[in-house]
Amino acid sequence: MKKSNGFIYLKLAENIQHMISEGVYAAGDKLPSVRSLHLEHGVSISTALQVYTHLEKKGWVTSREKSGYFVRYARQMRPPLPPVTNPAPRAGRVQINEKLAVFRKTARSEKTISLIGASPDTSLMPATKLKKALQLASRELDNSFIPYGDITGHEPFRRHIARHCLNWGRAFSPNEIIVTNGAIEAASLCLRAVANAGDTIAIESPTFFGLLLAIESLGMKALEIPTDPVTGVSLGVLEDAFKQKKVQACLFVSNYSNPLGSCMPDNSKEQLAKMLQKYQVPLIEDDVYGDLHFAPERPRTIKSYDEEGLVLYCSSFSKSIAAGLRIGWVIGGRYHEKIAQLKFMSSAATGILPQLVLTKFLDQQRLDLHLKSLRQALSMQTMQVTKAIQEYFPEDTRLTRPNGGISLWVVLPPKVNTWQLHDAAVAQGITFTPGALFSSQHRYQNCIRLTNANPWNDDQDWAIRTIGQLSQQQLNG
């Protein structure tokens, strides 16, 4: 027992040392408390204390009375943060579809190294456990998978979702939940529930192109709100838009947005929820990345502060368990009935098979364990990508510092055109997402989205080095 305990504390100390040496924790940063090491890593309080005593002896950390442990040494290796974005203050039609079609048709081979990262790499997902769950489910299967199911979803699965929501501090009844074909269907139904063609939707700037496309295909307009890469949308600008009745609804990714990785602080979420009530504006909250927090605590949601059913909460297991199962959900608040009706005519009930598999998987209570290791991997990979960008990209490159999720946003010097950069990269067998796809206003031409969704290896390193070199060539040329 003693031996294994020793192993645990040394391993943990090594991890923390590694994160310091790689700049995840900078000099002066506060480290996780002894108590949070205890809770998050499942070690005893005394083992957690041993970790810091060891690191203190080795000169990496220092303790301050009643305040905890702080970093003594760190290589300052992170590029500076991008500034708050500054989109044009007017709503406009979205026209991203054609651009996206060109992007998607770019010739790629099987050997292409993809830094697109729509979801965490398959190797990080619980494939074996899911297969076992499928086998169990198929053995116990009755005939309930034959007819159309309940339009709101399989009840035992909805019960699991309700329990899962407790993680961000709110209790729901399974009856408030509608299961969907992923969060993208959920968000699309929500848009249709709260707005019509011609209406204006407030979004983050930049915003995931899938959401822009949804707005475009429904004939709605987008109002891009200035967004801080750390704290999310500017509530001041948003409130002005509310006051001027410019906005029919909001569509935000409150936790680890795509592509910025911003996470709205909980007090801002509370403030925003109050604003929604004051101006009676509905908000669609896309929380697909909320479970992928690198720090021990799961951030809350805007929905958790919603007193009047104005927040339509969407999430899925696509980023945390398996995108291919296509299972998401929506808690629609006062729009629940309307969403159920739209769901009926959009695709009827969601298929029962993947819900049965996920129910079995969740029955085994393996989700927490899996999420813990997934988060650790994503956190480590973020650091590795960050380090490579610091090393290989042109001077004056700026980079986000996400504390969760799977996106990194790189702002290159203004002279770089990342659409051309993408063509050059594809010729070398590398693909990533150019910044222009994340705006309705032809912005972010010098930006790219990279991902921390892939395990680090020589290919990843080479790909980022190559993109860096190609950017430098554009600057020189």
Q: Which is nearer to a second copy, 16 or 194 (CB)?
A: 194
Residues 6+ away with beta carbon under 8 Å from 304: 168, 169, 170, 269
* Candidate list 89, 173, 324, 442; residue touching a second copy; CB under 8 A: 324
Per CB under 8 A, the list member of 64, 107, 345, 477 interacting with a second copy is 345
Q: Which of residues 63-82 bind a second copy (CB under 8 A)?
A: none
Whether 133 and 361 have beta carbons less than 8 Å apart is answered as yes
Contact of 51 with 45, CB cutoff 8 Å: no
Nearest one of 108, 101, 114 to 451, comparing CA atoms: 114
Tokens in use for 355? Answer: 């819900």
Neighbours of 477 (CB within 10 A): 6
Asked if 47 is part of the footprint of a second copy (rule: CB under 8 A), the reply reads: no
- Residue 337 as a binder of a second copy (CB under 8 A): the answer is yes
In the complex, the smallest distance separating the C-beta of residue 88 from a second copy, rounded to whole angstroms, is 24
**Residue (of 16, 12, 25) closest to 386 by Cα position:** 25
**Applying CB under 8 A, does 354 fall inside the site for a second copy?**
yes
Token pair of 162 as six digits = 């309700």
What residues from 432 to 451 belong to the interface with a second copy (CB under 8 A)? none
In terms of Cβ atoms closer than 10 Å to its own Cβ (0-12, 13-18, 19+), residue 147 is exposed
Q: Does residue 388 interact with a second copy by CB under 8 A?
A: no
Selected from 344, 373, 427, 459, the binder of a second copy by CB under 8 A is 344
Site for a second copy in 197-256 (CB under 8 A): 197, 210, 213-214, 217, 219
3-state secondary structure of 201: strand
User: What one-character DSSP code corresponds to residue 23?
Assistant: T
Contact between 194 and a second copy per CB under 8 A:
no
Spatial CA neighbour of 124 closest among 374, 380, 294: 374
118 in contact with a second copy (CB under 8 A): yes
In this complex, which beta carbon is closest to a second copy, that of residue 99 or of residue 246?
99
How many Å apart are CA 343 and CA 341, to the nearest integer? Answer: 5
User: How far is 6 from 15, CA to CA, in rounded Å?
Assistant: 14
Instruction: Out of 127, 166, 427, 475, point to the residue binding a second copy (CB under 8 A).
Output: 127
- Which residue of 122, 173, 364, 373 would you call a contact of a second copy, by CB under 8 A? 122
Q: Choose the stretch contacting a second copy; rule: CB under 8 A; options: 29-37, 82-90, 349-357, 382-390.
A: 349-357
Smallest distance from the beta carbon of 423 to a second copy, in angstroms?
21
Amino acid of residue 80: P
Q: Is 101 near a second copy (CB under 8 A)?
A: yes
Task: Give Cα separations from 295 to 292, 376, 382 (angstroms).
Answer: 9, 9, 13
Nearest approach, Cβ of residue 6 and a second copy (Å): 36
Instruction: Please provide the DSSP assignment of 4-54 as one string.
Output: HHHHHHHHHHHHHHHHHHTTSS-TTPBPPPHHHHHHHH---HHHHHHHHHH
Closer CB to a second copy, 229 or 354, in the complex:
354
188 versus 384: smaller Cβ distance to a second copy: 188
* Nearer to a second copy among residue 210 and residue 413 (C-beta): 210
Total residues interacting with a second copy, rule: CB under 8 A: 58
What is the nearest approach in angstroms of a second copy to the Cβ of residue 134? Answer: 5
In angstroms, what is the minimal distance from the CB of 132 to a second copy? 9
Report the largest interatomic distance among the alpha carbons of the chain, rounded to a whole angstrom.
67
Nearer to a second copy, 75 or 131 (CB): 131
Cis, bond preceding 354 (omega within 30 deg of 0): no
Question: What is the closest distance, in whole angstroms, from the C-beta atom of residue 366 to a second copy in the complex?
Answer: 15
In total, the chain counts a number of residues equal to: 477
326: contact with a second copy by CB under 8 A: yes
Contact 22, 383 (CB under 8 A): yes
Peptide bond into 87 cis (omega under 30): no
Q: How far is the CB of 170 from a second copy (least distance, A)?
A: 26
Considering only residues 129 through 188, tell me which ones interact with a second copy, judged by CB under 8 A.
130-131, 134-135, 138-139, 141, 143-149, 180-182, 184-185, 188
Mask of contacts with a second copy, 284-323, x by CB under 8 A?
----------------------------------x---xx
Q: Considering the rule CB under 8 A, would residue 283 count as an interface residue with a second copy?
A: no
Among positions 8, 125, 241, 281, the unique one binding a second copy when judged by CB under 8 A: 125
Sign for the pseudo-dihedral over CA of 108, 111, 113, 114: positive
Which amino acid, 16?
I
* Alpha helices (H) in 42-194, listed in sequence order: 45-57, 97-105, 127-139, 155-165, 182-194
Q: Going by C-beta distance under 8 Å and a sequence separation of 6 or more, which residues neighbour residue 3? A: none
What are the residues binding a second copy (CB under 8 A)? 97, 100-101, 118-119, 122, 125, 127, 130-131, 134-135, 138-139, 141, 143-149, 180-182, 184-185, 188, 192, 196-197, 210, 213-214, 217, 219, 318, 322-327, 337, 341-342, 344-354, 357
